[in-house]
Amino acid sequence: MVKDANGQVLSDGDSVVLIKDLKVKGTSTTLKVGTKIKGIRLVGGDHAVDCKTDAGSFLLKAEFLKKA
Protein backbone atom coordinates (compact mmCIF):
# COMPACT_ATOMS: atom_id res chain seq x y z
CA MET A 1 0.00 0.00 0.00
CA VAL A 2 1.44 3.37 -1.07
CA LYS A 3 0.40 6.53 0.80
CA ASP A 4 0.96 10.18 -0.16
CA ALA A 5 2.29 12.95 2.09
CA ASN A 6 -1.13 13.37 3.75
CA GLY A 7 -1.63 9.64 4.38
CA GLN A 8 -4.18 9.01 1.62
CA VAL A 9 -3.83 5.73 -0.26
CA LEU A 10 -2.68 6.08 -3.89
CA SER A 11 -3.74 3.75 -6.69
CA ASP A 12 -2.98 3.37 -10.41
CA GLY A 13 -4.47 6.13 -12.56
CA ASP A 14 -4.71 8.74 -9.77
CA SER A 15 -3.78 12.39 -10.29
CA VAL A 16 -1.25 13.89 -7.89
CA VAL A 17 0.39 17.25 -7.18
CA LEU A 18 4.01 17.87 -6.19
CA ILE A 19 4.43 19.42 -2.73
CA LYS A 20 8.15 20.23 -3.08
CA ASP A 21 10.54 21.36 -5.84
CA LEU A 22 12.47 18.31 -7.01
CA LYS A 23 15.81 18.52 -8.83
CA VAL A 24 16.33 15.80 -11.43
CA LYS A 25 19.72 14.10 -11.11
CA GLY A 26 22.01 14.46 -14.12
CA THR A 27 20.11 17.39 -15.67
CA SER A 28 19.37 21.03 -14.96
CA THR A 29 15.63 20.27 -14.88
CA THR A 30 13.59 21.02 -11.75
CA LEU A 31 10.05 19.78 -11.20
CA LYS A 32 8.21 22.70 -9.60
CA VAL A 33 5.88 22.59 -6.61
CA GLY A 34 2.22 22.51 -7.66
CA THR A 35 2.85 20.53 -10.86
CA LYS A 36 -0.14 18.26 -11.50
CA ILE A 37 0.63 14.76 -12.73
CA LYS A 38 -2.14 12.61 -14.20
CA GLY A 39 -2.32 8.85 -14.59
CA ILE A 40 0.34 7.59 -12.20
CA ARG A 41 1.46 3.95 -11.98
CA LEU A 42 2.56 2.25 -8.78
CA VAL A 43 5.74 0.18 -8.89
CA GLY A 44 7.74 -1.62 -6.24
CA GLY A 45 10.92 -0.35 -4.65
CA ASP A 46 12.11 2.85 -3.00
CA HIS A 47 10.63 5.13 -5.68
CA ALA A 48 7.06 3.85 -5.72
CA VAL A 49 5.39 6.11 -8.31
CA ASP A 50 6.06 6.02 -12.07
CA CYS A 51 4.75 9.06 -13.96
CA LYS A 52 5.08 11.10 -17.13
CA THR A 53 5.38 14.89 -17.18
CA ASP A 54 6.20 17.45 -19.87
CA ALA A 55 9.86 17.09 -18.86
CA GLY A 56 9.86 13.28 -19.33
CA SER A 57 9.20 10.07 -17.40
CA PHE A 58 10.21 9.87 -13.75
CA LEU A 59 10.13 7.59 -10.73
CA LEU A 60 9.10 9.61 -7.67
CA LYS A 61 8.77 8.96 -3.97
CA ALA A 62 5.20 9.15 -2.67
CA GLU A 63 6.27 11.39 0.25
CA PHE A 64 6.65 14.32 -2.20
CA LEU A 65 3.14 13.93 -3.66
CA LYS A 66 -0.41 14.61 -2.55
CA LYS A 67 -3.57 13.26 -4.12
CA ALA A 68 -5.35 15.80 -6.31
pLDDT at position 44: 87
Indicate the pTM of the whole model: 0.87
Domain assignments of the chain as residue spans, ordered by start? 2-67
Q: How far apart are CA 54 and CA 1, in angstroms?
A: 27
In which band, very low, low, confident or very high, does the pLDDT at 64 lie, cut at 50, 70 and 90? very high
CATH architecture of 2-67: Roll (2.30)
> C-alpha angle with apex 33: 26 to 30, nearest 5 degrees?
15
In which band, very low, low, confident or very high, does the pLDDT at 67 lie, cut at 50, 70 and 90? very high
How many CB atoms lie under 10 A from the CB of residue 63?
A: 12
* Each residue's pLDDT tens digit, 10-55: 999 999 999 999 999 999 999 999 999 999 999 988 899 999 998 8
CB 8 within 8 A of CB 67: yes
CB 66 within 8 A of CB 35: no
pLDDT at position 35: 95
| DSSP codes joined into one string, 37-57 | E-S-EE-SSSS-EEEEETTEE
